[in-house]
Amino acid sequence: MRTEEKQEEQQSIKDPSAYQQLESEEMEETSPWKDTIKQLRKNRFAVVGVVIILFFILLGLFAPLLTPYSYEEQALVDRLQPPSAEHWFGTDDVGRDIFTRIAYGARLSLQVGFFAVTGALVFGTLLGIVAGYFGRWIDTIISRIFDILLAFPSILLAIAIVSILGASLQNALIAIAIINIPIFGRLVRSKVISLREEEFIMAAKAQGMKNGRIIIHHILPNSAAPIIVQATLGFGTAILDAAGLGFLGLGAQPPTPEWGAMLAGSRDFIQLAPWTLIVPGVSIMLVVLGFNLIGDGLRDALDPKMKN
Amino acid sequence: MSDIVLELKDLHTHFFTDSGEVPAVDGVSLTVNKGEVVGIVGESGCGKSVTSLSVMQLVPNPPGRIVGGEINFKDENLVNASNKRMKQIRGNEIAMIFQEPMTSLDPLFKIGNQMVEGIRLHEKVSKQEARNRSIELLKLVGIPRADEVIDDYPHQLSGGMRQRVMIAMSMACNPELLIADEPTTALDVTIQAQILDLMRNLNKEKDTAIMLITHDLGVVAEICDRVVVMYAGQVIEEGTTREILKAPNHPYTKGLIRSLPNMKQKEQKLYSIPGTVPKPKMGRIGCRFAPRCEFAFDRCFQEDPALYQLENGRSSRCFLNDKTEGSLTGNGETIVGN
């Protein structure tokens, strides 16, 4: 039995085509991005996350085609209808189709996530790089500001900011971006500090490269991986925060079909018509779960230590 | 003496740490002539690397700072040079290669891109031109299939190949001075010899002066014209490679050479200088090496020895060369003040 196996092994090695294939596989041109996607596809949870998020993106994009109803037109005759063939997820207290509102709400939630994360990412990365690369007093100032921002419970800080700016979805978005700035800032700062000591940065300096060029060409690309992961995870928290502010009446105002606001509007009917709460609640949960799964998957895929 | 490329005069680079001021480079004077290979030898922590970083004005600040002395590069004192001027000099007139070839290249970019970037930093040439020149340089440093390797990522190359790439990059703008900070320490011996050969050839062909920092006397013997021995932030002996290796004057240099393994004496235990390198600190009086020196006498602990000039341009920082004292051996002539 064993000898047979051995022979087989030897044969497969002798077989030139098999050997060539092995070689070509090893020699295959790899780019960091291709590698990451390959790793990500191996991770089943990450794939589930991608599917969930794709589903909500498509839902938002094609909302007008998917339902015949309007998200704000009231139909009091049909109020608090349970799920049926006509109204897949039932209707709310003023007779609006919940599926329609969820679909249009997906647009809002994803937009909130995108803009809040982008804002936090841009400003956080900028501040983090300045603090980490130049150090000294500028680092002290920026780091202390981050500390102050992080000392407040984030939702409390967001509430305070919205109270100053006035309750609207746009202001909620700004508030969420602000509370996320120190999270990105600290992440980038620590990465930059470790990169700054790398010999290739010293080599770049020894070549006569200017600081700005070193930052854009060498520091930024090398710190991209943790930023991408944090951005993905931040998407989820931003959506959750937006829903939280919406629930408190500080975010989107009625009749905007924002998921958090939908929850708040129907909490009186929890016993009478539970679907009015369950559907937006589950939607929020799914989107946040989706982004977290992708984020975790990306973290593993981008971490060189996790590669086998 | 217009053929001096680099002249350090009483260079002091200190580090200001929480536990006080540390004189990492404590009054170093040395010269590098045109087309010459000068080796700087010494144990870890004796200030070799800080000296080279001082020349490039790349000492991490804080905590380090050049507090005194001159760095004259072709009649220009780099200590006073503006940031802008230093950026022109770095990579163009003075190039530097580092100890770790594995980490000296940015892992995210193809080596071609990095070379082209370096060339275009100092010269206005098209990308294609810079690329062609990079390929030429890679061929020059003996990289096979240079036109393919240029599109490789650093992780696809071995350590020796990467160090060749680093040397190719440093030679891109025909620098007048190449500072090599332990360029072969991380490589195995066969590759080490190839890299040294390569540097020697470049030195001969392009007349580039090389300041080679190393702790390996074997490397020194191989390619250096002159050697500067450093100990605890000071130059303690200087001379031609041949003379220093054959007849070292300073007890520390003697110890260094004795501690090399010798093929003829197989059974003997390898010699090592007793004690360890002292931590540099301010206000130390007496010879830095005295506590470890087998020839030390009272005077060594009481005053700083000067750098005694000996014949053939040699010098040594040891009281044994002081003729005025009379009773001691040595043939020193003049005393150069510290």
Task: CATH number of the domain at B64, please.
Answer: 3.40.50.300
Asked if residue B245 and residue B210 are part of one domain, the reply reads no
State whether B56 and A206 contact (CB < 8 Å).
yes
Host domain of residue B307: 234-336
Pairing relationship of beta strands B37-41 and B209-214 according to DSSP bridges: parallel
Residue A7 lies in a domain: no
pLDDT the model gives residue B338: 38
Last residue of a domain, one of B184, B210, B231: B231
| Residues B114 and B216 reside in one and the same domain | yes
The CA R_g of chain A, rounded to the nearest whole Å, is 25
Number of domains observed in the structure of chain A: 1
Query: Which stretch of DSSP H or E encloses residue B28?
Result: strand B20-33
Query: Of B231, B257, B278, which residue constitutes the final position of a domain?
Result: B231
| pTM attached to this predicted model | 0.74
* For range A138-142, the mean pLDDT: 94
Q: Please name the member of B58, B95, B122 whose beta carbon is closest to the beta carbon of A202.
A: B58
Looking at CA atoms only, how far is residue B98 from chain A in angstroms?
A: 7
Which pLDDT score is estimated for A14?
45
Contacts with A198 from chain B: Cβ below 8 Å: 103
pLDDT digits (tens, 9 = 90+) for B192-221: 888 888 888 888 888 889 999 988 888 888
The complex scores an ipTM of 0.75
Contact B87 A202 (CB under 8 A): no
For residues B151 and B249, membership in a common domain is answered with: no
Measured between CA atoms, the residue of chain B closest to residue A33 is B108
Residue B281 has pLDDT above 80, yes or no: no
pLDDT of residue A189: 94
Do residues A82 and A90 make contact, with C-beta atoms less than 8 angstroms apart? yes
Q: Which of B144-153, B179-188, B271-280 tops mean pLDDT? A: B144-153
Nearest to B104 among A200, A210, A221 (CB): A200
Among the ranges given (A91-95, A112-116, B60-64), the one the predictor scored with the smallest mean pLDDT:
B60-64
Q: How far is A205 from chain B (nearest CA, A)?
A: 8
Helices A136-151 and A169-196: crossing angle in degrees, nearest 10, is 140
pLDDT at B287: 86
Distance CA B43, CA B230 (A): 8
pLDDT in tens, A33-88: 777 788 788 888 899 999 999 999 999 999 888 888 888 778 778 788 888 888 88
- Collapsing DSSP states into helix, strand and coil, what is residue B249? coil
Distance in angstroms (rounded) separating the CA atoms of residues A273 and A267: 9
- B100 and chain A: CB distance < 8 Å anywhere? yes
| Strand arrangement of the beta sheet that strand B64-73 belongs to | B20-33, B4-17, B64-73, B76-77
A124 found inside a domain: yes
Which pLDDT does position A28 carry in this prediction? Answer: 47
Answer whether residue B6 shows pLDDT above 50: yes
Cβ atoms of B300 and B269 within 8 Å: the answer is no
User: pLDDT category, A282, cuts 50, 70, 90?
Assistant: very high
B56 CB within 8 Å of a chain A CB: yes
- Is residue B67 pLDDT above 90, yes or no? no
pLDDT at site A23: 42
Q: How far is B96 from chain A (nearest CA, A)?
A: 6
Q: Does B166 touch chain A (CB under 8 A)?
A: yes
Res B207: pLDDT: 86
Top pLDDT among B99 and B332 is at: B99
- Closest C-alpha to B238, from B249, B254, B251: B249
Chain B residues near residue A221 by CB distance under 8 angstroms:
106, 108-109
Same domain, B160 and B246: no
Q: Over 80: is that where the pLDDT of B10 sits?
A: yes
| Residues in CB range of B317: below 8 A, 6 or more apart | B234, B235, B236, B237, B250, B287, B305, B306, B307, B308
Q: Is A84 within a domain?
A: no
B196 with B68, same domain: the answer is yes
* Sheet containing strand B315-316, strands side by side: B94-97, B177-181, B209-214, B37-41, B226-231, B234-240, B315-316, B307-309, B335-336
Give the per-residue pLDDT at A120.
Answer: 94
Say yes or no for a CB contact (<8 Å) between B104 and A199.
yes
pLDDT, average across residues A22-35? 55
pLDDT tens digit sequence for B109-132? 888 888 898 888 888 888 888 899
Cis amide prior to B274 (ω within 30 degrees):
no
Q: Is the pLDDT of residue A121 over 80?
A: yes
Q: Fill in the amino acid letter for B318.
A: C
- What CATH number is given to the structural domain containing A292? 1.10.3720.10
Q: Which residues of A touch B86 (CB under 8 A)?
A: 208
Residues of chain B neighbouring A202 (CB-CB closer than 8 A)? 58, 98, 104
Give pLDDT, residue A162. 92
- The pLDDT tens digits for A214-236 are 998 889 888 888 898 899 888 88
Task: Find the domain containing A222 and state its range.
Answer: 104-308
Examine the pLDDT at A10 and tell me if it is beyond 50: no
Number of domains in chain B: 2
Domain boundary among B231, B260, B278: B231
- Select the residue from A207, A217, A222, A307 to test the B interface by mutation, using most B Cβ atoms within 10 A: A207
- Answer whether B62 sits within 8 Å of A205, measured CB to CB: no
pLDDT per position as a tens digit, B161-201: 888 888 888 888 888 889 988 888 777 788 788 888 888 88
A54 within domain boundaries: no
- pLDDT score of A12: 44
- Test B108 with A208 for CB contact under 8 angstroms: no
Report the pLDDT averaged over residues A258-266: 86
Are B121 and A209 in contact (CB < 8 Å)? yes
